[in-house]
Amino acid sequence: MRWAAVLVLALLAFLGPLLLVSPAAAQDLPDNIEPPPPTVPEVGGDDADPDAVDEDEPFTITVDGGGEGPSQSVIIIIVLTLLSLAPSIIIMLTSFTRIVVVLSLTRNALGLQGVPPNQVVVGLSLFLTLFVMAPTLNEINEVALQPYLDGTIDQSEAYELGTEPLREFMLTHTRTSELELMLDATDAERPEDQSDISLTTLIPAFLLSELKTAFLIGFVIFIPFLVIDMVVSAVLMSLGMMMLPPVFVSLPFKLLLFVMVGGWSLIVQTILTSFN
């Protein structure tokens, strides 16, 4: 009962002011209240807003600050295009092919199929590619990319200036035999100067040269490991252990030899020297 009395008192305290308003008083309230008329400020006075927009002046919108360089939308489109074509560009126009093939052949020469993993081989190849291509990339940035971003040259000029360092790099590391093969396969006239060779002819010749160089380096790497396999096989046959695979015995010796001579450092040094 005590809680019921408290609840009744609370309801009376809340609804009491609403019940005291009579219907007659509610009917005396005006239905429509007209707002006061708006005041129009005087133009040109002391109280004029300095930020007010003059209706006589044309309304203009400036995108990207109105600079001379390319707009942000064009830069975003170029960046997205380069990201989508990055794997093809790295494989076809850089030293990545030679490096990854040499490292893969080294792993096969050791007799290890999954050590080091493919992610490690590709990652090391990628960073070595960036190291080898650093002078070329810096030149492209200085002569083509930065002038284009500053607005001093247009897209066609930036493309022409940017492909020249890549063309010089590929011509330097392309063998004459592969270049002659691709030139003979085309029906076009032979250019008088190597700088006039089109990229469609130069890129396949460059890839063929890179594969040939990589396999030559891999052949040299295979020789000492082949000698170890032959020695181990001859020893096992002389001992009459015909059922024991020679690979199981030669693998620890190959790993020991490779670690003692600093194999990975020698391989990387050989690759870097081949580009110099």
For 216-263, how does the pLDDT look when each residue is reduced to its tens digit (9 = 90+)? 999 999 998 888 888 888 888 888 777 777 778 888 888 888 888 888
Position 116 scores a pLDDT of 86
**If we measure between CA atoms, which residue out of 97, 105, 160 comes closest to residue 133?**
97
| 158: in domain | no
Answer yes or no: is 28 within a domain: no
Identify the pLDDT of residue 130: 92
- Domain residues for the domain of 81 are 72-106+118-132+173-275
Is 25 within the bounds of a domain? no
User: Is 53 among the domain residues?
Assistant: no
* Predicted pLDDT of residue 97: 92
Q: What is the pLDDT of residue 56?
A: 54
- The answer as to whether 49 is a domain residue is no
Q: Quick one: pLDDT at residue 101?
A: 93
Which pLDDT score is estimated for 37?
60
| Chain Cα centroid distance, residue 124 | 16
Which stretches of the chain score pLDDT less than 70? Answer: 1-71, 82, 85, 188
**Pick from 139, 146, 212: nearest CA to 174:** 212
Q: What is the pLDDT of residue 124?
A: 92
pLDDT tens for each residue of 261-275: 888 999 999 999 988
What's the total number of domains in the chain?
A: 1
Q: Which two tokens stand for residue 154?
A: 């247009």
